[in-house]
């Protein structure tokens, strides 16, 4: 079933040391789910009751503007977490969709199981806290770059941080995430090749 090679256990072990005898008990709080490309974990108006750890694949979070345009706000690759944290924390309907960009496998942790997990393994509080701090810090820098960089600099900076990502995600999703049109992103890619 689950082993020490679990990407989730590996992720946890980078931050807090877990005894091998605790691997199975920890993983028992999670549900492993396989997703096909374009499958949804969350749709707007649903209440988010789970956090998702991406074991393999790529997911995105987006919302739909009144004019029908999709605006991607977040991507999660392997070893990243994804959720509508406000909906999850406040038990209120989400305004986001969470969708598989490609075939993916996730570990789902419900709110109830997270409470149980942290009661049974209090050292994992540190793991979750540091992950949230990292995600919050990344969000702060993303906002800074939106104000500090022009559109071309935004793309170049993102490409320098995540070169493999730029090739992996469909252009229209990446353009939406970076605040560009797909056509302008195409021009930038041609210009830099």
pTM of the entire predicted model:
0.91
Report the Cα 21 to chain-centroid distance in Å.
28
E strand segments, 57-100 = 59-64, 70-76, 81-82, 97-100
The confidence score (pLDDT) of residue 192 equals 64
Burial letters 139-161, b for 16+ CB under 10 A, else e: eeeeeeeeeeeeeeebbeebbee
> How high is the pLDDT of residue 162?
87
CB atoms within 10 A of CB 58: 22
The whole-angstrom separation of Cα 127 and Cα 12 is 6
What residue ranges of the chain have pLDDT lower than 70?
A: 1-5, 192-193
Structure confidence at residue 5 (pLDDT): 58
**What pLDDT, in 10s, does the model give residues 121-132?**
999 999 999 999
pLDDT at residue 1, rounded to an integer? 45
Strands annotated E in the chain: 31-35, 40-42, 50-56, 59-64, 70-76, 81-82, 97-100, 104-110
């Amino acid at each position: 079933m689950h082993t020490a090679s679990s990407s989730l256990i590996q992720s946890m072990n980078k931050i807090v040391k877990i005894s091998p005898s605790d691997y199975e008990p920890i993983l028992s709080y999670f549900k492993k789910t396989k997703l096909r490309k374009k499958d949804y974990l969350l749709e707007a108006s649903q209440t988010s009751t789970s956090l998702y750890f991406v074991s393999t694949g790529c997911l995105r979070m987006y919302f739909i503007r009144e004019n029908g345009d999709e605006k991607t706000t977040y991507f999660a690759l392997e070893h990243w977490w994804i959720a509508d944290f406000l909906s999850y924390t406040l038990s209120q309907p989400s305004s986001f969709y969470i969708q598989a960009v490609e075939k993916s496998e996730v570990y789902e942790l419900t709110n109830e199981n997270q409470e149980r997990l942290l009661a049974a393994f209090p050292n994992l509080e540190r793991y979750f806290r540091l992950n949230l701090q990292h995600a919050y810090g990344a969000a702060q820098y993303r906002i800074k770059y939106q104000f500090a960089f022009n559109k071309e600099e935004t793309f170049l900076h993102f490409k320098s941080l995540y070169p493999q990502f730029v090739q992996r995600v469909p252009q229209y999703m990446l353009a939406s995430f970076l605040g560009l049109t797909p056509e302008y992103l195409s021009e930038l890619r041609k210009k830099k090749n």
